[in-house]
Amino acid sequence: MQELWGRKVLKKEINDNKSIIADSQKLPTMDMLNEKEIQCLRCGQIQRKVLVQLSNGYYFCPECIQLGRVDTSQEFYHLPEPTPIQRTVHFAWKGALTQGQQAVSDELLASVKKGESRMIWAVTGAGKTEMLFKTIHYCLECGYRVGVASPRVDVCLELFPRIQAVFPDEPAILLHGKMDEGYRYTKLLICTTHQLLRFFQAFDVLIIDEVDAFPFVDNPLLQYAVKKAIKNKSSLIYLTATPTETSTKRNRQNNVQISILPARYHRRALPVPKTKWCHHWREKIKKGRSPKQLVAKIRTLMNKNDVLIFCPSIALMEQLKNAIEKKFPKVPLACVHSQDSERLEKVLGMRNKEYRILITSTILERGVTFDGVSVIVLGANHPVFATSALVQIAGRVDRRMDYTAGEVWFLHDGCTRAMREAIKQIKKMNRLGRERGLIDEM
């Protein structure tokens, strides 16, 4: 029975289907909107019937097919969530919040108590997760069901053990596309945003981390999933370090309150990116040469820190690596990108100081922390470097307690709006942090 509470799944997705199916509610999989169109009730996307008809006459949805095909011959099975019952939940967190974190944590709890939604805009390296603990604890004690979702699997993998450690006696489950463990009912759940497509009026509180990250940002399918996964009376909590214009606008329209945490837990200002002209960087790399501004910058930065070089395309990365190797023959370096099978090993290698230079695509723009690094964005004027990407990349520097004088450099041959916006946003946060007394001057 419990297996179907708050779920909306196909027969083939149910573990123990015989006993459950008889008692469950059956819901349609698709809605015939009109003569020509049909809407999938798992992902909400509308299809033209002629394009999605199967040879047996049924219709299917191509949009959410990665979760298993939904078609009009099937039904969804569902059971409503039970009424929440007050209980005691062991809370094992012994850490302390900074003044800034505490303020946000209090605002968040107040919102949840009122059943309101809230957006938390906390700078990179602010310590977002700790601010959630008290609210999660409150919710679990109320008997609520709480979900923490992120568009990125690696974020979920990192969050799960941290949250589990705070609530050691609370059953919790981690759900993502590549997991082997079967589904079971828990009040506390960490999952990728795609997994929300399998829930229906399940959560009293749903926290979505990295709302500005791919694939969640501006994705109607996942936004539909969120809307369906929460109860009618519930709180949605969004976390971000780099809100997009659309999300800010949407929040304003929906009256979502915003908490801003403009400073990191170590009370130092965010490093402000500096820009440097680098003439024809693309052409030079294509010819197998390394731009002299880049070489000079690597040399100075390496006196104090290791160097992460962000490169706009995989094709350029290999050429860049060869060119840099020629200039720095004795320096251990590597390059890493999304299709790299040794991606995890290389990231670990950089963490363990096996390399002094790591050339990377935007895959390392968020979710990773290295000790003692400076960052160069080569070709910061390339369109892949949107404002949010640049802010996140700059946020890789100076995340640890110990200060290492890490720097952020945008090398470019034509300043873009995204570059200017990123610098402006970082400066604005520093200004806010100073005004609120959350930053110590060095």
Q: Site residues for Zn ion, window 57-96 (CB under 5 A)?
A: 61, 63-64
DSSP states of 402-425: S-----EEEEESS--HHHHHHHHH
Q: How far is the CB of 64 from Zn ion (least distance, A)?
A: 3
| For Zn ion, the closer CB: 197 or 386 | 197
Residue among 252, 281, 249 at smallest CA distance from 382: 281
> Considering only 53-61, 271-279, 335-343, 410-418, which stretch makes contact with Zn ion by CB under 5 A?
53-61
| For Zn ion, the closer CB: 27 or 165 | 27
Among 10, 30, 40, 120, binds Zn ion (CB under 5 A): 40
Q: How far is the CB of 200 from Zn ion (least distance, A)?
A: 14
Q: How far is the CB of 225 from Zn ion (least distance, A)?
A: 10
| For Zn ion, the closer CB: 60 or 238 | 60
| For Zn ion, the closer CB: 7 or 321 | 7
| For Zn ion, the closer CB: 61 or 237 | 61
Q: How far apart are CA 428 and CA 189, in angstroms?
A: 35
Q: How far is the CB of 12 from Zn ion (least distance, A)?
A: 16
Distance of CA 256 to the CA centre of its chain: 20
Does 407 bind Zn ion (CB under 5 A)? Our answer is no
Q: How far is the CB of 65 from Zn ion (least distance, A)?
A: 7
List Cβ neighbours of 337 (8 Å cut-off, separation of 6 or more): 314, 317, 343, 360, 361, 363
Is 23 strand, coil or helix? helix
> Considering only 14-22, 38-46, 91-99, 173-181, which stretch makes contact with Zn ion by CB under 5 A?
38-46
In degrees and rounded to multiples of 5, residue 28 shows phi and psi of -65, 150
Alpha helices in 194-309 (DSSP H): 220-229, 245-253, 281-286, 292-302
Do residues 350 and 334 touch, judged by C-beta distance below 8 A?
yes
Q: How far is the CB of 247 from Zn ion (least distance, A)?
A: 23
| For Zn ion, the closer CB: 31 or 283 | 31
Q: Site residues for Zn ion, window 298-357 (CB under 5 A)?
A: none
Is 316 strand, coil or helix? helix
Among 42, 134, 176, 198, binds Zn ion (CB under 5 A): 42
Q: How far is the CB of 52 from Zn ion (least distance, A)?
A: 10
Do residues 121 and 258 touch, judged by C-beta distance below 8 A?
yes
Measure Cα distances from 264 to 256, 269, 295, 397 in Å: 24, 7, 31, 12
Among 43, 104, 174, 419, binds Zn ion (CB under 5 A): 43
Q: How far apart are CA 425 and CA 139, in angstroms?
A: 33
Q: How far apart are CA 422 and CA 202, in angstroms?
A: 37
| For Zn ion, the closer CB: 43 or 119 | 43
What number of chain residues touch Zn ion (CB under 5 A)? 6
Interaction site with Zn ion (CB under 5 A) = 40, 42-43, 61, 63-64
